[in-house]
């Protein structure tokens, strides 16, 4: 029976994530995630000037930011014409800095904390990615899918 992993083992080191400064444009973010396709990364970590982690930008958020039709608030059926995706408005959106679109990180978990603590925080704040600190540095982040996998493995043992 496989050993249950702790948070340290589940965490992906920060250096393995795509990341960007907050002044990068949405277009740059699209480019970065697109180039990261094969790594299965679906989020970008966003930092401030002094390399402090300030937020995250994920695929869903990016699509909503580019195209108003994808907005949670939009009630209209989205057009099925591809060309609509590259309207002037949408292209202008791409030039905007990502600081306008990021989801801020307000919580952080310590590397010594329990996996279930992390799970609890993520569910409580409805997030898929949780930063992990080690001493006074951000060491990495855990993904909901990895936490789920550990929880599932434990449940299914019985």
Partner 1 sequence: MGQMRSLLSIFKKIKFKKADIPKASPPDGTPFKERYDCFQKLLADNNSILETMADMEEKLSGDYMFDMHYVDSKCNILIEKVQSVIENLDSLSNGEYSGLYDAFEKINAAIKNFLAKNIEIPVTEFTMPFEDVTKDMVRSVGGKNANLGEIKSRLNLPVPEGFCISAHAFKRFMDYNELGDKISIASLDPVSMVELTRVSKEAQNLVLNARVPPDLEKSISDAASELERKAGHRTGEFYASVRSSAIHEDAQFTFAGQYKTILNVAPEDVVSAYVEIIASLFTTRAIFYCKSKGFQEEDMVMAVGVVEMIDAKASGVMYSRDPTDEKKHGIIINGVWGLGKYAVDGIVEPHTYVVSRDIPGTILEKNQPVQQDMLICRLDAGVIDTRVPDYIRRMPCLTEEQVITLAGYALVLEKHYGKPQDIEWALDLNDNLLILQARPLRIVAEKRSRPVPRSLHGHKILIDKGQIACKGVGAGKVCFVTNDEELKSFPEGAVLVAKHTSPKFVTVMNKTSAIIADVGSPTGHMASLAREYRVPTILNAEIAMKTLKPGQEITVDAINGSIYDGRIEQLVEAGKTENPFKDTPVFEALRGVLKSIVPLNLLYPEDKEQFSPKYCETFHDITRFAHEVAMNEMFKIGEGAHRKGEAVKLHVQLPLDIRVIDLGGGVENGSGKITVDKIACIPMKALLKGMMALEWPGPPPVNVKGLLSVIAGSTMHPNPEKAFSEPSFAVVSREYMNFSIRLGYHLQTLEAYAGDSINDNYIRFLFRGGGASHDRRARRTQLIKKILEKIDFYVDTTGDVLDGRVTKYDRITIEKKLDIMAKLTVFTKQLDMTLFSDDVVNWYAKEFINKHYVE
The verdict on 69 binding partner 1 (CB under 8 A) reads no
Does 99 sit near partner 1 (CB under 8 A)?
yes
Residue 148 makes contact with partner 1 by CB under 8 A = no
55 belongs to the binding site for partner 1 (CB under 8 A): yes
Q: Considering the complex, what minimum distance in angstroms separates the CB of residue 69 from partner 1?
A: 25
Query: DSSP assignment of 91-149, as one string?
Result: HHHHTSBGGGT-EE----EETTS-HHHHHHHHHHHT-SEEEEEETTEEEEEEEHHHHHH
Q: Is 94 exposed, middle or buried (0-12, 13-18, 19+ CB in 10 A)?
A: middle
- Residue 82, Cβ density class (10 Å: 0-12 exposed, 13-18 middle, ≥19 buried): exposed
> Which 19-38 positions form the footprint of partner 1 (CB under 8 A)?
19-24, 28, 31-32, 35-36
Nearest one of 137, 124, 106, 151 to 7, comparing CA atoms: 151
- Binding segment toward partner 1, per CB under 8 A, in 46-54, 59-67, 77-85, 112-120: 46-54
Q: Give the number of residues in contact with partner 1, rule: CB under 8 A.
A: 35
Backbone angles phi and psi of 62, in degrees to 5: -60, -45
Q: Which of 5, 8, 64, 133 forms a contact with partner 1 (CB under 8 A)?
A: 133
- Minimum Å gap between C-beta 44 and partner 1 is 9
Q: Is 138 in the site for partner 1 (CB under 8 A)?
A: yes
Judged by the rule CB under 8 A, the positions of this chain that interact with partner 1 are 14-15, 18-24, 28, 31-32, 35-36, 47-55, 97, 99-100, 102, 104-105, 108, 131, 133, 136-138
């Amino acid at each position: 029976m496989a050993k249950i992993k702790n948070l340290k083992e589940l965490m992906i080191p920060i250096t393995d994530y795509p990341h960007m400064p907050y002044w990068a444009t949405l277009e740059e973010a699209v480019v970065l995630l697109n180039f990261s396709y094969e790594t299965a990364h679906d989020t970008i970590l966003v930092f401030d000037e002094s390399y402090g982690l300030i937020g995250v930008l994920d695929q869903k958020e990016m699509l909503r930011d580019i195209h108003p039709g994808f907005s949670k608030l939009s009630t209209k059926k989205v057009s099925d014409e591809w060309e609509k995706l590259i309207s002037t408005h949408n292209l202008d959106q791409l030039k905007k800095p990502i600081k306008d679109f990021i989801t801020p990180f307000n919580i952080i978990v310590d590397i010594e904390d329990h996996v279930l603590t992390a799970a609890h925080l993520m569910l409580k704040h409805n997030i898929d990615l949780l930063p992990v600190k080690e001493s006074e540095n951000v060491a990495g982040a855990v993904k909901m899918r990895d936490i789920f996998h550990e929880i599932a493995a434990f449940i299914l043992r019985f």
